[in-house]
Structure 1
């Protein structure tokens, strides 16, 4: 079985001891949550990523497992100005430290600068990769300069015509003032 098939069920301790990086390309259509955020993916759209794990010595205890995850891709999102597709580059460059259980992760989370993950017998690296790509999405995707000028409209044209027939409320007030 190839290593690429094991990215969703890695033994992180063995991966760190091995010391060999995992360099892969994954189709974006296989990342369902990320695909839902896009404006239609090309069948060959993919993310290139690399994961390196290492053991770091710790005084008076077992070595710590650390993971460095890097990824790069581009996804079509909906421009919030013109509502057209805008190719948005996404990059991930993140370090993680593994801890033995959730209680330790919660206790150390506020004091640590790195992200903490809980050591699991079969770690899903692809899920963490998808999470990081989702967090890298911009809050408001937009073109620097939209290829088609956006149509700005406050309401229907029927409403605009109806509003034109109503008198200006300030004009009515001004008439009341003149009567005194």
Structure 2
């Protein structure tokens, strides 16, 4: 009904409400998730949901093992389909431009959809851009002063 009537629902929820999201994350300090879901119908009668989400979960950096806030901003368009057979794209080929498809229903949990979108937006290996506590010796840009063991290969390439 949301998509058919072009309605919008929006709200705020504490990040602690999203149990699947925070299950394996460090302690979350009262962060809020701001979300909106708007229904749309195109000229061909296809129905869509536009999902906008802003959140700031605390993740654990996999490089320095320190917690950090990871800002998440999601703006996705999901196509609603009537049956599970319609979930697969025509011809079995994935089109990068085509929206993701989800099974539409008269009733579904909007917050569960919001939680799914946040989970999908999280990095597989979370890490700081620059770790504040990483020793300089482990810095990726540090130069050890030794010649590269591969510099010999460049000489062979010239011959």
- Could you tell me the TM-score, scaled by structure 1's length? 0.66
After the TM superposition, list the runs of 4 or more consecutive aligned residues in structure 1 that deviate by more than 4 angstroms: none
Question: What is the rounded CA distance, in whole Å, between the counterparts of 1:125 and 1:31 in structure 2?
Answer: 12
Unpaired segments ≥5 residues, structure 1: 1-13, 153-180
Which structure: greater helix fraction? 1
Q: Are the structure 2 counterparts of residues 79 and 64 from structure 1 closer, same or farther at C-alpha, using a change threshold of 3 Å?
A: same
Comparing 48-57 and 94-103, the one that deviates more? 48-57
Question: What is the rounded CA distance, in whole Å, between the counterparts of 2:131 and 2:43 in structure 1?
Answer: 52
Q: Residue 32 in 1 paired to residue 14 in 2? A: no
Quote the offset at 1:19 in angstroms.
2.8
Alignment of 1:31-180 (within 5 A): 31-42=18-29, 44-58=30-44, 63-108=45-90, 110=93, 113-149=98-134
Comparing 135-144 and 109-118, the one that deviates more? 109-118
What SS class does the counterpart of residue 46 from structure 2 fall into? strand
Greater relative contact order, per chain length (Cα 8 Å cut-off, separation 6+) = 1
Bigger Rg, structure 1 or 2: 1
- Could you tell me the TM-score, scaled by structure 2's length? 0.74
Question: What is the rounded CA distance, in whole Å, between the counterparts of 2:54 and 2:24 in structure 1?
Answer: 17
Unpaired segments ≥5 residues, structure 2: 138-159
RMSD: 2.2
| CA shift digits 1:6-56 (9 cap, x unpaired) | xxxxxxxx22344332121121111111111321111x2111111110122
Q: Which residue of 1 aligns with 2:152?
A: none
What SS class does the counterpart of residue 65 from structure 2 fall into? coil
Total equivalences in the alignment: 134
Quote the offset at 1:107 in angstroms.
4.7
